[in-house]
Structure 1
């Protein structure tokens, strides 16, 4: 290497060395933030509040913001809205991000925000208070309403006051009427917003078209729930109004009372002789109404006779009968019509009911605890509950479709007539007052009458009874037990017996020797092919005329059969 090149190299090294020593040194990044503590104040649940923070890099090198974390017991109530990646803040620049407070429950909330950067960790204290969510509070005055008595053709109006005692708007979106008699009421369909401490009115009108109690509900739909108000009112007739009686035959029959229809219980209804019946005339009538066999098909108008006690409407063409307003009724005779249903639940004073020869499939007498006589035969009733009718003395339910009958509660019963049904068993052990029992043409295989010593008449023919003990029934005067499966019959204890019909059984023994054979006017024991000897009183000769006493030719009378 020549001297010239060496000189050039030395000069270059010198220049480089001087250049590096003269370069200025940069100060590191410097973190500063505009707030080191923030208070969100009260924030209503479930809303949120946002506060912006500004970070400044007052250094000369880059500031790198790496992460944001919260610590403390309420850290979950706070979040940061910032870049999801590291944020580089150049020298002299700023970066803005948000802290969000969204409380989930009431009370003071605190946490510490830690900002992690390339120059360390930086703390910001955060706090706030969860305030309860504003809510509307519904109240109504009055809370229910009884409009009382309102005459037909008139109306009663009430304004309900709805108030908002909450701290948010109360929004009423709909008011509707429902319930059994909603058609008797009308209301304004208010859609309104009620501010805090505000109020509004809802008008309800009661205008009954028919008499009687009318119930309904007023439903108010709001943004804080649906509220129901009970409504009640009673429609009463206009005393001067004319009773609507569309059936001409019924009207003519009513007008005839006191003129051509007379008697101790029948008095004049049309007292002003105007050819019409006013409501006040109907209400003033306390006697009986006799519309028996008058070719009546509609009994509309009977509801006006609220004090009626006895009603005769048998042998007409009635298909329905509404007696819900005739609560004073004690006797009802509606037999031989075309009724398919009969509601007597309001007639709790009823003592006698004659509804036989109709087309009833059911009959509810559970409310008629005063009943002493029930006559519902020749219908299509499949079950009959008389457990509440403890005063019942006579029950006539033959020719229905009953498969069972419980009379254990009817201890006052004297007459029971349940023939021509499909009853498989019958317990009369509690009916010690029973004097007449007619249960023929059923499906009985046995019958215990040992407790019925007052029994005078027993008709149990046309069943499948295999044995019958009548030894305790000393008062028995007539026994009909023909067409069963009896193999033996002993009436020697039945000293009052006057009639005995035991034909068409399987008898092999028959003891008639009660000491009073001369009082037995009719005795029919024929069609018992295995019966060859009939025990009779010693010294008694049966009548020769078999119209009165009849047996098979193969049987003989004797006082020594056994």
Structure 2
């Protein structure tokens, strides 16, 4: 009763205080809730581990802040907890509490801490990533121990290895042999704890007490389950040898009459006693003499221990056409004491060669008199069945023949069936005008004993005078001030200086509009002229260059047909509409982004091609299947309707955004190592084929390995329909 009276008195005083306050027109300032962070990412935590962060709530108002409840909500609420309890926070005071992230399962986690106060509800969003806790992994180097034949009351041992390839200690608690014949297999292995990366070798003994096949299993109990190794063996009563052959009968197939074919044959003793071969001879009909044992039949008289082998050579030398057969008779101490090893083969008529050339002709194009153009090659192919014997290779053609030479070519040559010999030719015009000659290959093909290929080229007028004409002042200044080029330090570039220079010309960003004079530098290795004003360029005489950089100019066309040694081509930000790189087999890096290219002819073969940057052009079709070393393919903002990189097993970067793709196959066996695969903004793309076993939604490295597709497209491990 006294308590109620006190409460009533307090209420009356509160009312009176309120009335007094109202009478004095005093403003009541409410409590103000403030927390130091409303979102917190706990980062990555292993399952069943935990991490905590502190939060602080401050009352920045005038009245008391009453916190009635702290509740964690959301799908992943069970993975988060808090130390917070209801609290009254006075003016200017603070209250600290912790939230703990202790994930129970793997994956991305998110929850909300809802704080109920006298001025409303407040929320704190908490997130984290739960990664799997480390576990040991049991790796056995075998799943079966097969002891083979073991005599009764004898023993045989076999071993296997247990490896902990996981991330935590592996506790081996028991080894137990079970099964029908468990009593005949034993192991002395005991419990043990293997650290990460540790190994244990276990020995199992087979001791059969009766004849017959024996089976059992060895169960290995660990802290991650039970592993089982199958055990089998056979109890035998009497040891005996068993003779087997690596091939029986020995089939030589077709062999030309007068030729010979040898085969290595292995005798194995798969029994459990010494095999004694006591006598050997070759028997059969009239064609048995076509077969022989190299070293003589007596070389096979020997003893072969159990499990051992002996390899000998048998030769088939047919003297006539037709089927031939015979047998090697081996007397021995096995149950089958008189063994006949059959042999057969067919003598065939001698095969004939068939000569062919890989090219119909060689055209060296225009070459300045006294200079040499690009060396060209063709293959002399043998498409027949017999050896092609090339007796002589020469250049003929009258007066023009001396303009062509053969490089590192020699004869005679023997070209095996389905093989070839490469001939390299060089054009060095001695005078102006069209030159024609033939390369004659004399050989033993009865239908084409003198087979020739036509070679052509045109000699251009040589540079006149001693000084190179360089009309662009900026280009000339760059060359004249280069001491490596202008070796006499005068104000001109002599033809001899230009021809002698074999280094790099780099004239980037010099406001050059014309590079006339570059043709005199016939031996330079690189040319770089980025960020200039070039509208055209003639590189027909610069056949030695391997690196070309012409980014950010005003080029509308580019002829690189003479520059087949190029390894790097950079021509971004021009206005080129077509380019032909068909014969550029040395190409490794090609970048032509931000042009207007609709016709792109890539090399027919380029085994070292690693990078293709073709973005922002008008390319409508693209086949890269012939480039085994391609790593990066950037082709966004084009007109492609389909793309297949399944033959490019090294591609790791693919960007095909903003095309018209309706078909995309990226299943190249290397998806797990992709840096990124971007294929969005292709409205007609409904399906993307990727590697089996690879999840593009959860690639190994989510920070770097991005897989982006149109929303309407699906992922598929089989061919899209």
Tell me if both proteins adopt one fold, taking TM over 0.5 as the criterion.
Answer: no
Give the number of the structure whose residues are more often strand, by fraction: 2
Normalising to structure 1: TM-score of the pair?
Answer: 0.44
Q: Between Structure 1 and Structure 2, whose CA radius of gyration is higher?
A: 1
Normalising to structure 2: TM-score of the pair?
Answer: 0.35
